[in-house]
Amino acid sequence: MISNPSPKSATNIKLPISFIVYALFAFSCSQIILFMNSSDMLIGQFRLPDIWMGAHFLLLGFAVMVAMGAMYQLVPVAFLTPIWNERFGFIQFGITALGVGFFSTLLSFKPSVAIYGGMLAVIGVVMFIIQMVITILSQQKKSLMTITVLVAIISLFLTIVAGLLLAWNIAYGGIINHTSILYSHIALGIAGWFTLLIFGFSYKLVPMFSLSHGFSMKWAKPMVITYITGLIMLLLSFWIQVTFLPTIGWFLLCLGFTFFVLDVKEIIKKRMKKKLDKPFIFSLFAIGNGLVIHFIALVGSLYHIKSSIFWGWLIFLYIFSWVIFSILGYLYKIVPFLWWTHKYADRIGKEKVPTLKEMIHEKASINILTLFIIGIVGLVLFVILQVGIGVFVFQGILAVASILYAISIIRVLFI
């Protein structure tokens, strides 16, 4: 038998929980802001100060903060490596939370000084990158997952560099490639950071939540190579005018995503747990959405569609139905685990303790997640039909769903 020394796998719960609670608040804020500006969304106007505020509360305040919190919890257990410096992590949380809050708010109220909030957020994100790079590089046995997560972290760094350049240009001007930087900022953020991060952790989480064994992960290597190459091609296409470069980029991104789906499909096929938890099924549903959106982007690129409304809504769907939906599903697993470890880990074996499933109200979670699907489908439908009241109502449903979701997650912390 080969024994393994027990690593210190649990991070101080206050660290990931701080990020997650902040993120849930930002999520509700973002949806309320977007609800209040639904008329601008109707005409496909995403590049307006109030929409910027909503979008950055959603992406930075919610998605990035959740990703950071989840990484503080998952990296030690998935990479069997303790977090480099927890105190540094708490300082990083404070700086990032302040920076993201100021930056997102100033984008609406005073865009010309948003750069100062942005700089604070950048310092926070750079601190996070330093923390994670040192932690991950100290992992004894590197895997493909290590590379995927490292590339995601590099993408995050480049995303904020591009974001800072954009904020600088808004404040002082002088940079002529504003549009190229903006497109790079978006692609690096959503495909480079979020997608690769979800890919990397899904290879650990999907088998764990489905109790799958004997799967091959044979597409993982082609996936990493293809997806990263596709991302580089797409980024190049924003800077060099070559006719088929965006199409090649989207083709490779689509292919890479397909490889990932093939692996997930095999993992699920070889699962031991027949009845999967509903929120986890929702995360799997998000993977399907991601594939469809990549395919639509490929078709859009193939037919040289230039409409900013088309790409604006496709990016919205990419973010919401793939990235955000994945996070929403996984959080229903991650938060109960965190709280369970904090509250019940020392009671196991001494008294009867609840299972993770018993810590969430599964029926309520199904209803809330269904509301998100209804909200997104209705929103897109009424934007296509250009019916203002419909957009207002369905963005309202999303705002209500986000508040209910935040309550349902926070509720776990009182069990």
- Do 100 and 61 touch, CB atoms closer than 8 A? yes
Q: How many residues does the chain have?
A: 415
Q: Is 139 in the site for another protein (CB under 8 A)?
A: no
Candidate residues 211, 299, 377, 384; the one interacting with another protein per rule CB under 8 A? 211
Report the alpha-carbon distance of residue 30 to residue 101 in Å, rounded.
11
Tokens describing residue 408: 């349902």
Is 1 among the residues that bind another protein (CB under 8 A)? yes
> Which of 274, 306, 363, 414 forms a contact with another protein (CB under 8 A)?
274
Shortest reach from residue 143's CB to another protein, in Å: 10
Residues 191-210 that bind another protein (CB under 8 A): 204, 207-209
Give the span between the Cα atoms of 64 and 30, in whole angstroms. Answer: 13
Neighbours of 269 (CB within 10 A): 10
What the block records as the tokens of 167 is: 């904020």
Q: Is 77 in the site for another protein (CB under 8 A)?
A: yes
Residue with smaller CB distance to another protein, 225 or 346: 346
Residue 81: CB minimum distance to another protein, A: 10
Minimum distance between the CB of residue 227 and another protein, rounded to whole angstroms? 23
* Contact indicator for 235, 154 with CB cutoff of 8 Å: no
Tokens representing 302 are 């193939």
Residues 347-376 that bind another protein (CB under 8 A): 347-350, 353-357
Q: Is 91 in the site for another protein (CB under 8 A)?
A: no
Q: Which of 188, 181, 186 is nearest to 154 (CA)?
A: 188
Instruction: For the segment 310-349, give every residue that binds another protein (CB under 8 A).
Output: 337, 340-341, 344-349
Cβ closest to another protein, residue 356 vs residue 401: 356
Q: What angle do CA 309, 228, 308 make, to 5 degrees?
A: 10
Taking the C-alpha atoms of residue 31 and residue 23, their distance in angstroms, rounded to an integer, is 12
Contact string 7-26 vs another protein (x = CB under 8 A): xxxx----------------
Residue 238: count of CB within 10 angstroms of its CB:
20
Residues found near another protein in the complex (CB under 8 A):
1-4, 6-10, 73-74, 77-80, 204, 207-209, 211, 213-214, 272-275, 337, 340-341, 344-350, 353-357
